[in-house]
Amino acid sequence: MIRRRHLLAAASALAAPPLAAPAIAQGAGGWPSRPIRLVVPYPPGGASDIAGRMQADVLSAGLGVPVVVDNRAGAGGTIGTAHVAQSAPDGYTIMMASPSSHLGAPLLFRNPGYEGVDDFTAIATFAHGTAMVCVHPSLPVTNIQELIAYARARPGQLNFGSAGAGGANHMLGVLFMMRTGVELTHVPYRGAAQAVADLIAGNIQLVFDSFSGIIGAVRAGRVRALAVTSAQRWPLAPEFPTVQEQGVPNYELPSFSAVMGPAGMPEPIVMRMNAVINEALRTPALIERLAANGNAPFISTPAEFAALMRAQREVWRDLVRSAGLEPQ
């Protein structure tokens, strides 16, 4: 599995090659001969923007040309993503991609302007993260099985917050209900920080929030973490068990950032970008930079990445259907 191999690579970070990927000589056709534009379909300053700027730094260093970040935000990420889908597949327009932009948004917007998998070329995965199942300390549960038993005895009475309907944190809650048979009530917020604040205040009972977004509250004892949502224990916090190892099979919704381009990009360009990114992801400097944001490197081939996107498309379709969400 891609994720298992990747996590082993992250755990052996100190044995990785030197600092940064060296520039690779120009290939057939002289590509790249001018700056490359990397579209981030979200505003500056957020986690997606940080990921995009790291991707741009890596590609610029490895390819020997400037890679300029172009923030094209709006409509849940669909404006910038549609722009890339409609761009020439010449290797000069690429983007920071995520499950939200390519799997969630196409299902939740009536006319997004693109199909999230078929209208793009999978170039390289870049980083992945995990989420945590956290409850208010007053809730009398200390593990996932206790949470399941408590929720089953109180159908619909436990509220879980998320950054908004249809987002990854919402879908993690939907997946939890599907896999366990419990009934939770979703409370959407305008952002994950607001949901966490209400959890700390005791206004909701649990969240499925990103590791980076909630680990501070966990360490401070303001919320109680029951599990991480990744398939394996998270290398940045291996003391927390997974949901799966606590008796909930097939519970995982990968969270990652990646690089994609328009459909039909030439294979030599795709393979070259992939090689540059993967080489950099093995360096201690980039591994440390990702860890500072709660993430770990995610290495794959273009074929593995494309297969992951196709498989996750079906998972997200099932989750959106189960949640009863309709395109807006």
Q: What is the pLDDT of residues 57-102, one digit of tens each?
A: 999 999 999 999 999 998 889 999 999 999 999 999 999 999 999 9
Q: Mean of the pLDDT values across residues 225-252?
A: 96
Question: For position 15, what pLDDT does the model report?
Answer: 31
Question: For position 10, what pLDDT does the model report?
Answer: 37
* H or E segment to which residue 68 belongs: strand 67-71
Which residues share a beta bridge with 209?
A: 132
Q: What is the pLDDT of residues 271-283, one digit of tens each?
A: 999 999 999 999 9
DSSP state of 242: B
Does domain 2-129+254-323 fall under CATH 3.40.190.150? My reply is: yes
Q: What is the pTM of this model?
A: 0.83
CB 23 within 8 A of CB 148: no
Q: What is the pLDDT of residues 16-55, one digit of tens each?
A: 333 344 444 455 469 999 999 999 999 898 888 999 999 9
Average pLDDT for the chain = 90
Q: Which residue has the tokens 């205040």?
A: 201
What residues have CB less than 8 Å from 242, skipping those under 6 apart?
227, 228, 229, 230, 231, 232, 233, 251
Question: For position 232, what pLDDT does the model report?
Answer: 93
What residues have CB less than 8 Å from 278, skipping those under 6 apart?
124, 299, 300
At the second CATH level, the architecture of 131-229 is: 3-Layer(aba) Sandwich (3.40)
Domains 2-129+254-323 and 131-229 alike in fold: yes
More confident residue, 145 or 2: 145
Q: What is the pLDDT of residues 247-267, one digit of tens each?
A: 999 999 999 999 999 999 999
- Which burial class, exposed, middle or buried, applies to 146 when counting CB atoms under 10 A from its CB (0-12, 13-18, 19+)? middle
Segments making up each domain of the chain, as ranges: 2-129+254-323, 131-229
- Report d(CA 71, CA 151) in Å as an integer: 42
Listed range (1-15, 151-165, 242-256, 289-303) with the worst mean pLDDT:
1-15
Question: For position 262, what pLDDT does the model report?
Answer: 98
Q: Mean of the pLDDT values across residues 101-127?
A: 95
Confidence at 9, pLDDT banded by 50, 70, 90:
very low
